[in-house]
Amino acid sequence: MVRYLIPVVVIVLFFAETEFSLFSPIEWHGHLIYLVPRFLILFLIFMAIYYDRKKAMIYGLIFGLINDIFYIDIIGLYTFLYPFICFIAGSTVKYIHQHLVVTTTLSLALIAVLEVALYQFFVLISFTDISFAQFLNTRLIPTMIANVIFIVLLGGGFKYLLEYRSYQRANRSIL
């Protein structure tokens, strides 16, 4: 049964993302601020670090593709960015200590990278005309705050689940 836990978590997070985005944008002091839920990629970053980089990249590819088709109709954007982020996350394993605080900080930095990359892409194809400062204030910072709350609440759980799985796998390979 535990085998299916990771795919189930990934699917639940994928749907949770859209459902949470129904609550955004929020009006705050006369400005509209956008909170972008990035639950799925946060989980995949954790997966790349604690479990398996290759599997994380495959999940990233599949769900990036679904995201592209279902929401933005530009195939290739998330399909590239999700596995790319997972790749970077997985590559850092050798160089950094895998403490929860370090991983959380790293994953948030990667979310920021993802957001900025998306912003640059949409500026490039002129889907948006907001300035970088505006992007920073109305999107990036609120998004980071919202995702910090999410990862602080659930990061420990993710780590436990993924480490448990890799522990199981290690046991199986010994037997």
Q: Which of 55, 100, 112, 122 binds another protein (CB under 8 A)?
A: 122
| Residues 7-26 within binding reach of another protein (CB under 8 A) | 15, 17-26
Q: CB nearer to another protein: give 23 or 160.
A: 23
CB neighbour list of residue 107: distance below 8 Å, 6 or more residues apart: 42, 45, 46, 89, 151
SS3 95: coil
Interface with another protein, residue 173, by CB under 8 A: no
Cis ω before 25 (30° cut-off from 0): yes
- If you compute the radius of gyration of the chain from its CA atoms, what whole number of angstroms results? 17
Q: Mark the segment that binds another protein (CB under 8 A) among 50-58, 104-112, 128-136, 153-161.
A: 128-136
The CA distance from 25 to 56, in Å, is 30
Q: CB nearer to another protein: give 126 or 173.
A: 126
Interface with another protein, residue 132, by CB under 8 A: no
Name the minimum Å distance from CB 74 to another protein. 5
Interface with another protein, residue 74, by CB under 8 A: yes
Contact 18, 36 (CB under 8 A): no
Structure tokens at 46: 């954790």
Q: Which of 5, 28, 54, 69 binds another protein (CB under 8 A)?
A: 69
Interface with another protein, residue 172, by CB under 8 A: no
DSSP state of 76: T
Q: Which of 6, 37, 43, 57 binds another protein (CB under 8 A)?
A: 37
Using CA atoms, how far residue 131 sits from 24, 32, 55, 74, 122, in Å, is: 20, 15, 37, 23, 12
Name the minimum Å distance from CB 117 to another protein. 11
Residues that bind another protein (CB under 8 A): 15, 17-27, 32, 34, 36-37, 66-77, 79-80, 91, 94, 118, 122, 125, 127-130, 134
